[in-house]
Amino acid sequence: MSKCEQCIVREFSALKALNKDELLKLADCKTSFTVKKGDIIFEEGDSLDGIFCVKDGVCKLTKLSSNGKDQIVKLVTKGELLGQRSLISEEPTNLGATALEDMQVCFVPKSQVMEFFNVNNKFSLSMMKNVCHDLKEADNVLVNLAQKSVKERLAITLLYLHDTFGVNADESLKIQLSRDEISSIIGTATESCIRLLSDFNKSGWIELSGKKIILKNKKELRKLAE
Amino acid sequence: MSKCEQCIVREFSALKALNKDELLKLADCKTSFTVKKGDIIFEEGDSLDGIFCVKDGVCKLTKLSSNGKDQIVKLVTKGELLGQRSLISEEPTNLGATALEDMQVCFVPKSQVMEFFNVNNKFSLSMMKNVCHDLKEADNVLVNLAQKSVKERLAITLLYLHDTFGVNADESLKIQLSRDEISSIIGTATESCIRLLSDFNKSGWIELSGKKIILKNKKELRKLAE
DNA sequence: TTTAGAACATGATATTTGTCATCCTTTAGT
DNA sequence: ACTAAAGGATGACAAATATCATGTTCTAAA
């Protein structure tokens, strides 16, 4: 059982507000596990009995719409927590979580998190800041979905993927999403997404080879994304 | 200066976690004021030095998109708080707030809120629950904007206005929004919104007379909204 | 290695939604 | 009461997007 002190999650999440003693407690009660690409971490409506720390890998948070299509609401990457909202609200999850890559995850039981809430105000405040940040992001995405065209949203999404997850040595986006998943982020039909990617490709703004996407002209993409 | 003990905001918001002493402190430091319909409470990007308690009336939270159109992200009504996210994140506001009706509002300075955070864990947790609820709602709206047609979103919005703000004696929606504002909730062109309202009217699902809207066939509207 | 299924791509077409123009109605101010 | 301005309504049309059909290219399992 590894210590939590050096964990990347501690660096970026609300866990940074924990002191040494609390970190020891955390290391003691947590359970580590791996998740394979495509595996479901939890489903929409599940009752969680704790939160997840993402040590490595990326997952998508999705919600099934009544039209039968999944919408990707957020991507969660290493260093972030998963399931806080559900835990704090004491409600079943509103979104499901599925691994986009192989992941390393720790589970921290609710009782321990609640104890931290009760004895460490900084932790509460830090967690609150996290949720507030998520809320701000959700509001921004919401406005984009309401006001921007599919083409603009695709440009925004490509730049987001570039800036958030970085690129490989060949400049291609590190995170690999299927066309279907990209469509599910921007909220459009898969065919429309594929067509627009082709258009971007023909315009020379991006380069496609298989699943690889290289952003060749970020300036033009940014102009679209505004 | 009225006491906060009986205030409706206390009943519904995080303030319910405050004890008698804290409520006295609150009553002591707050400032009450009225806001006229159409007045701006704060603008997107403003730095707030506290939070607002909505004692009466309704306001809209909006964000200006780069296409020049305002998107209504949320409606805030009596009993709710305003500006928590900005205060907690210690950032300028992400959304602007404008009164849709005459309002009664109290302002509580940041220093006092932060003190409550520091001495009263229940208050922190309660505030966190509020933000979490907002996040869940934002995610749900986001999915609807991404996956539902304009017609479906209009049906959803009409039912939401009905259920949240209630009806007058003549069954018409209590909250009066311009066609432009309704469009700004569902994220569409004003003309499209007007056209669909006309369609609903012709189908007998709603009745329009001036600004008044009466939902005549909620069952059909719900079928659309799913 | 072969092969079935998934993912990707593209054309044709239908549907939805936005834009522009115009007119009507209500409202607020003189 | 009159008038200007805003809000509401509607038609004609354009643009964006979805849907359906079909073919191609990957990919993983037998």
What is the per-residue pLDDT across B33-87, written as a single tens digit (0 to 9) for each?
999 999 999 999 999 999 999 999 999 999 999 999 999 999 999 999 999 999 9
Q: Are residues A156 and A99 in the same domain?
A: no
Whether residue A1 is contained in a domain is answered as no
Whether B65 and B19 map to the same domain: the answer is yes
Q: Could you tell me if residue B57 is inside a domain?
A: yes
Regarding whether B107 and B19 lie in a shared domain, the answer is yes
CATH code of the domain covering residue B194: 1.10.10.10
Q: Which of A95, A144, A186 sits opposite B139 (nearest CB)?
A: A95
Within this chain, do residues B114 and B33 fall inside the same structural domain, yes or no?
yes
B152 pLDDT band (50/70/90 cuts)?
A: very high
Report residue A71 as tokens: 């919408």
Does B6 touch chain A if contact means CB atoms closer than 8 Å?
A: no
pLDDT digits (tens, 9 = 90+) for A51-62: 999 999 999 999
Domain count, chain A: 2
Same domain for B115 and B17, yes or no, is: yes
In chain D, which nucleotides are within 7 Å of a protein Cβ?
7-12, 16-21, 26-27
pLDDT on residue B166: 96
- Taking CB atoms within 8 Å and a gap of at least 24, the contacts of A3-6 are A3/A27, A4/A30, A4/A106
pLDDT for A1 equals 56
- Put simply, the answer to whether B124 touches A129 (Cβ < 8 Å) is no
Same domain, yes or no, for A41 and A102? yes
Residue A32, CB, strand C, below 7 Å: no
- Pair B21, B115 in one domain: yes
Cβ distance of B136 and A187 shorter than 8 Å: no
* pLDDT-based confidence at residue B2 (cuts at 50, 70, 90): confident
Among the candidates B80, B107, B122, a domain finishes at: B122
Contact yes or no for A11/A79 (Cβ under 8 A): yes
Does residue B51 belong to any structural domain of this protein? yes
- Could you tell me if A40 lies within 8 Å of chain B, comparing CB atoms? no
Which of B69, B121, B144 lies nearest to residue A147, judging by beta carbons?
Answer: B69
CATH number at residue A131: 2.60.120.10
Q: Which residue of A has its CA nearest to B141?
A: A142
**Residue B133 included in any domain:** no
Render pLDDT for B165-193 as a digit per residue (tens, 0 to 9): 999 999 999 999 999 999 999 999 999 99
Q: Return phi, psi of residue B26, to 5°.
A: -60, -50
**A65 and B147 in contact by Cβ < 8 A?**
yes
- Of A145, A167, A190, the residue at which a domain comes to its end is A145
Residue B203 has pLDDT above 80, yes or no: yes
Backbone angles phi, psi at A77, to 5 degrees: -125, 175
Cα–Cα distance, A200 to B104 (Å, whole number):
51
Facing residue for A187 by CB, picked from B89, B133, B147: B147
Contact A60, A3 (CB under 8 A): no
Strand D reaches within 7 A of the B100 CB: no
B211 burial level (CB within 10 Å; 0-12, 13-18, 19+):
exposed
Asked if residue B132 belongs to a domain, the reply is no
Q: Do B91 and B152 reside in the same domain of the chain? A: no
pLDDT for B1 beyond 60: no
Q: Do A146 and B187 touch (CB under 8 A)?
A: yes
Same domain, B52 and B155: no
Q: Which residues of chain A have pLDDT under 50?
A: none
Q: Is the dihedral of CA B201, B74, A164, A131 positive or negative?
A: negative
Domain span including residue A158: 148-225
* Residue at A49 is within a domain: yes
Among A143, A180, A139, A182, smallest CA distance to A160 is for: A182
Asked if B95 and B65 count as a contact pair (C-beta separation under 8 A), the reply is: no
**Domain stop point among B76, B107, B122:** B122
The pLDDT value recorded for residue A2 is 73
Residue A31 and residue A92 in one domain: yes
**What's the confidence (pLDDT) of residue B3?**
83
What is the pLDDT at residue A176?
Answer: 95
Q: Is residue A2 situated within a structural domain?
A: no
Do A209 and A110 sit in the same domain of this protein?
no
Cα nearest neighbour of B86 on chain A: A132
Q: What is the dihedral of CA A201, A202, A204, A208, to 10 degrees?
A: 30
Summarize the confidence of residues B142-148 as an average pLDDT: 98
Residue B207 pLDDT greater than 60, yes or no: yes
Q: Is residue B54 assigned to a domain?
A: yes
Region B15-35 average pLDDT: 95
A52 and A41 Cβ atoms separated by less than 8 Å = yes
Instruction: Check if residue B212 sits with its Cβ under 7 angstroms from strand D.
Output: no
Whether residue A214 contacts residue A206, with contact meaning beta carbons closer than 8 Å, is answered with: yes
- B86 and B50 in a single domain? The answer is yes
Q: How many CA atoms lie within 13 A of B220 on its CB side?
A: 10
